[in-house]
Chains A and B, each alone.
Chain A
Amino acid sequence: MKFSIQVNEGPYQHQASDSAYQFTKAALEKGHECFRVFFYHDGVLNGTRLTTPPQDDRNIVNNWVELAEKHDLDLVVCVAAAQRRGIVDEGEAERNGKDATNIAPRFRISGLGQLVEAAIQSDRLVVFGD
């Protein structure tokens, strides 16, 4: 089956991104396909490379990055939600006159059309959040 995943909550505050990660990992290991993971609302905070949890805790951002590297996952952060919450890549930094970037590797910033396209192209869109 072809899945797409929507993550609506930030890491650590809420179980949703952990659950989405575990679900995506399990689905891929069972041989399913993942068309795209789309991060929306505070979910965009999963995409900052500056995340530094204590050493004895899981690193949710790195978990996503490693999963993406292993399975060539498309990790998309919503541009409008990202701008509101300070998630910036080089293009956005240049456009908005910011002096730094913080997007994690393997993540990319794009529009809501990517979410709608994912819903059209996939057999199931699974939403994680309250």
Chain B
Amino acid sequence: MSDTKNFMFLNRRAPYGTIYAWESLEVVLIAAAFEQNVSLMFADDGVFELTKGQDTAEIGMKNFSPTYRTLGDYEVRHMYVDKASLEARGLTADDLVQVEWEDWETEESVDNIVEVVDSERVAELLAESDVVFSF
């Protein structure tokens, strides 16, 4: 069995209110450290995890949203956002953070790995993954 798999992290919850989003991010970082092919999918209220300008000062919670913007440095190559979930919440791609990615060896780079995809593509991507973590 190969030791490298396609890991998909399916994030379906708002960033605050429960701890799922934060504890999901911790697993993402560990999986990347294990040199797996790591992708993230944001659907349902999970799309709020990527919104710009989060400010948690008045709820006394740690604002962990800057971590998403560093995921490209952890060799996370793909971050997908479900279009229907985004639109249902009155959001567009402009409301989301951008995440840069660069391959240090080849110097290949992508300005923004956050990609809005339709439901059909969401289903394909989940089916193509070896392991789906659901948070």
Give the nearest-CB partner of B130 in chain A.
A119
Whether a CB of chain A sits under 8 angstroms from the CB of B67 is no
Q: Give 1 or 0 for each of B9-35: 1 = CB within 8 Å of chain A CB.
A: 000000000011001001100110110
Q: B34 near A116 (CB under 8 angstroms)?
A: yes
A20 within 8 A of B: no
Which applies to chain B's interface (DSSP): helix, strand, loop or mixed? mixed
Does A115 lie at the interface of the complex (its beta carbon under 8 Å from any beta carbon of B)? yes
The interface size bin for chain B is 10 to 19
Interface positions, chain B 101-135, Cβ under 8 Å from A, are 131-135
Interface residues of B (CB under 8 A from A): 1, 3, 5, 7, 19-20, 23, 26-27, 30-31, 33-34, 36, 131-135
What is the CA–CA distance of A113 and B33 in the complex, to the nearest angstrom? 9
Residues of A within 8 A of B (CB-CB), count: 19
Q: Which of the listed residues B19, B27, B36 has the most CB atoms from chain A within 10 Å of its own CB?
A: B27
| 5 pairs, CB–CB < 8 Å, chain A vs chain B | A40-B27, A120-B5, A120-B36, A125-B133, A127-B132
